[in-house]
Structure 1
Amino acid sequence: MNKPLLNRREFSGLCVGFGLVAPTLAALSSATARGAAATVKFADGAAVPALGQGSAGLGQGRRPESAEEEALRTGLSLGMTLIDTAEMYGGGRSEALIGRATAGQRDRVFLVSKVWPNHVAGNGIARACEASLARLGTDRLDLYLLHWPSRDADLSSIVAGFESLRAAGRIRRWGVSNFNVSDMEDLFRVPHGDRCATNQVLYNLDNRGIEHDLLPWCEQHGMPVMAYSPLGGSGAGLLRDPTLARIAAAHDCSVAAAALAWTIRNGNVIAIPESGSAEHVKENAVGLSLTLTHEDLQALDTAHPSANR
């Protein structure tokens, strides 16, 4: 093996000699922990980044919409090309904002939206889909989800509605959200229910319940899971967590990036953090290529143990 031109100490000395700031040990070490951006595959072979962009709070007046659009475009430029939304987010305003932010870039984006369970009876699912497509300014969705289990229509009619949209080219695949294992088993018992592409659920370091049943069930059935609120949702207490802060410092990244790297660590989870700030999106994007060490994971397991149920 060729001897390196400079070792770390010599390199740091040269930096000081030339009046430069030498990289920290953490920064140098973290470079070896970052590799290719993580991806997740659906059962049909479609690959998406393991880190996408959520939008539950976008388009609702919390921030200037121009800043939120810039944040989405920044995410796209950094490889976070999956964007998740829903018709109920701001009464459709989130979808409309995403449509503006992605105008002219549709082929770069993996678009996900959701239908509210009150809208699936009869021909409602088709009407809801068409309304979402119009707001998003597109002719198709890459993934269309049932937002919650529905009491207004049986699963077989919901699946039939999704399959009709897929056959018409209005959606490319469909899935569900907030289903537990019992719900998933009911779904798989109806005709074509096993064509479900994903289940989007709450998952983060403080909410690990799916690790005991739902996550293994989905893995067994070749189905990736989408994780909403991967940073802990409102309040974002995880961003003040001392264990995460120490790990983030060791990797020279933000606490958010470390938390996101944990969420997508097993290769079958797609995390969809929301951010209305381009700077925060840049911080989040580091998590896409960050690999936590075995010691990091052990420390987080100790600080945030997975409950029995």
Structure 2
Amino acid sequence: MTTSELSLAARPCGLSGLQLPLLGLGTWAFGGGTYWGPQDQHDVDEVVARALDLGINYFDTAEMYNAGTSETSLGVALRGRRDRAIIGSKISPSNTRPSTLRACCEASLRRLGTDHLDLYMVHWPIHANSIRHFTDDPELIAHPPSVAEAFQTLARLQAEGKIRHIGVSNYGVRQMEEVRGLGVRLAVNELPYNLLMRAIEPEIVPYCRQQGIGIIGYMTLMQGVLAGEFESFDALPAMRTRTRHFTGRRPGSRHGEPGCEAETWLAIEKVRQIAREAQLPLADVAIAWALHNQDISCVLAGCRTLAQLEENARAVQRTLTPHTLRQLNTATAPVLHLLGTNPDYYQAASESRSW
């Protein structure tokens, strides 16, 4: 793979004018933390430098990732290279009252060592059911920030040049409609999307296409499940078995649903077999499958080492045949059917934060 080959691989984010590489770098592990464990800054520096050389110039972070140290670590790695990077960060819905939002945006800029964010997203929709996962403040939960005031503040920050594009993450159709009614143009909706998480296909993808909103897909490898790293669900860390694929009896789960573990494991086994027949690694198939959806502007994959980065970059070059795509869609359709169109994979449909 040459630098020029991957550098040319970019797609527009709807009608926003923002262009993103097909593969973006998720940076949740940067800075180290309880979820992913320690992360050496030297490794981060190497990964970021090599990513830029490969044309993987979108870096996705958030203020909540490791309590801000993800942003700090990314900022260190981008010193002297900021002009080559596209940075997207996210603000927690609990921090979207106007004065707090502005202060949080300024704090993210300081941690990242930059004077602007290319993309600034509201991490989850602004309502009580969402906010309670970010704060214990009873007053804030009882009286959530105003959606109108939040997006008006974002528009002002955009006019000031502190953010270039406004986006959202995990928003459903009605929530995007609410923002559209405020006269704010969304560049992006960042959503979970992989072979086992296809809830956005029936309703959200067509809406974004119609409204000219780009889609960034996250959890492309389902936190290692689609990378072939684990031989059974019981081998997964508890924090990675909280989605509705798994029984609600697993530690940390809050959806309360029966899950569909047998069907999910069967789908994974079928995908493994399809990958073997195509003579491709499982992770390559998962990334290539997501990118075959032309409505997806960019997919995210996190990595902690140069080897993982090179593997993910290789997957972008893979082409799946129509026959293989049909096989993959058929193999994972039962999971889509069982879990439905609720894109919040951590909450039951009745408690979904994304509607």
Which bin holds the TM-score, normalised by the shorter protein? 0.7 to 0.9
Structure 1 CA distance for aligned equivalents of residues 29 and 280 of structure 2: 25
The secondary structure found in structure 1 opposite 2:329 is helix
TM-score (norm 2): 0.72
Q: Which residue of 1 aligns with 2:150?
A: 158
**Structure 2 letter corresponding to 1:54:** G
TM-score (norm 1): 0.82
Q: Which residue of 2 aligns with 1:88?
A: 64
Equivalent of 1:125 in 90, 94, 101: 101
**Structure 1 letter corresponding to 2:83:** D
Residue 168 of structure 1 deviates from its aligned partner by: 0.7
Deviates more, 1:288-297 or 1:138-147: 288-297
Residue 267 of structure 1 deviates from its aligned partner by: 2.2
Structure 1 CA distance for aligned equivalents of residues 60 and 23 of structure 2: 11
Residue 290 of structure 1 deviates from its aligned partner by: 2.2
* Bigger radius of gyration: 1
Residue 289 of structure 1 deviates from its aligned partner by: 2.6
Q: Which residue of 2 aligns with 1:188?
A: 180
CA contact (8 A) 1:37 1:288 kept: no
Q: Which residue of 2 aligns with 1:73?
A: 49
Q: Which residue of 2 aligns with 1:52?
A: 24
Q: Which residue of 1 aligns with 2:263?
A: none
The secondary structure found in structure 1 opposite 2:47 is helix
Q: Which residue of 2 aligns with 1:237?
A: 225
Structure 1 CA distance for aligned equivalents of residues 55 and 275 of structure 2: 21
Structure 2 CA distance for aligned equivalents of residues 121 and 183 of structure 1: 17
Q: Which residue of 2 aligns with 1:101?
A: 77
Structure 2 CA distance for aligned equivalents of residues 39 and 139 of structure 1: 25
Structure 1 CA distance for aligned equivalents of residues 279 and 112 of structure 2: 37
Q: How many residues align?
A: 272
Report the CA distance shift for 1:58/1:251 in structure 2 as closer, same or farther (over 3 A). Answer: farther
The secondary structure found in structure 2 opposite 1:238 is helix
Equivalent of 2:283 in 243, 249, 256: 256
2:116 is aligned with 1:140:
yes
Q: Which residue of 2 aligns with 1:226?
A: 216
Report the CA distance shift for 1:47/1:258 in structure 2 as closer, same or farther (over 3 A). Answer: same
Residue 134 of structure 1 deviates from its aligned partner by: 0.6
Structure 1 CA distance for aligned equivalents of residues 76 and 17 of structure 2: 29
The secondary structure found in structure 2 opposite 1:211 is coil
Residue 232 of structure 1 deviates from its aligned partner by: 0.8
Residue 242 of structure 1 deviates from its aligned partner by: 4.4
Residue 248 of structure 1 deviates from its aligned partner by: 4.6
Report the CA distance shift for 1:285/1:243 in structure 2 as closer, same or farther (over 3 A). Answer: farther
Percent identity for Structure 1 against Structure 2:
34
Structure 1 CA distance for aligned equivalents of residues 38 and 289 of structure 2: 28
Report the CA distance shift for 1:35/1:139 in structure 2 as closer, same or farther (over 3 A). Answer: closer
CA contact (8 A) 1:254 1:283 kept: no
CA contact (8 A) 2:278 2:324 kept: no
2:327 is aligned with 1:293:
no
CA contact (8 A) 1:39 1:267 kept: no
Q: Root-mean-square deviation (CA), in Å?
A: 2.0
Residues 10-37 of structure 1: CA deviation (Å, up to 9, x unaligned):
xxxxxxxxxxxxxxxxxxxxxxxx9985
Q: Which residue of 1 aligns with 2:239?
A: none
Structure 1 CA distance for aligned equivalents of residues 273 and 308 of structure 2: 19
Residue 216 of structure 1 deviates from its aligned partner by: 1.0
Q: Which residue of 2 aligns with 1:16?
A: none
2:29 is aligned with 1:41:
no
The secondary structure found in structure 2 opposite 1:52 is strand
Residue 64 of structure 1 deviates from its aligned partner by: 2.0
Structure 2 CA distance for aligned equivalents of residues 47 and 295 of structure 1: 30
Report the CA distance shift for 1:250/1:36 in structure 2 as closer, same or farther (over 3 A). Answer: farther
Residue 250 of structure 1 deviates from its aligned partner by: 6.0
CA contact (8 A) 1:38 1:289 kept: no
CA contact (8 A) 1:36 1:289 kept: no
Q: Which residue of 2 aligns with 1:282?
A: 310
Deviates more, 1:85-94 or 1:46-55: 46-55
Q: Which residue of 2 aligns with 1:27?
A: none
Residue 237 of structure 1 deviates from its aligned partner by: 2.1
CA contact (8 A) 2:58 2:85 kept: yes
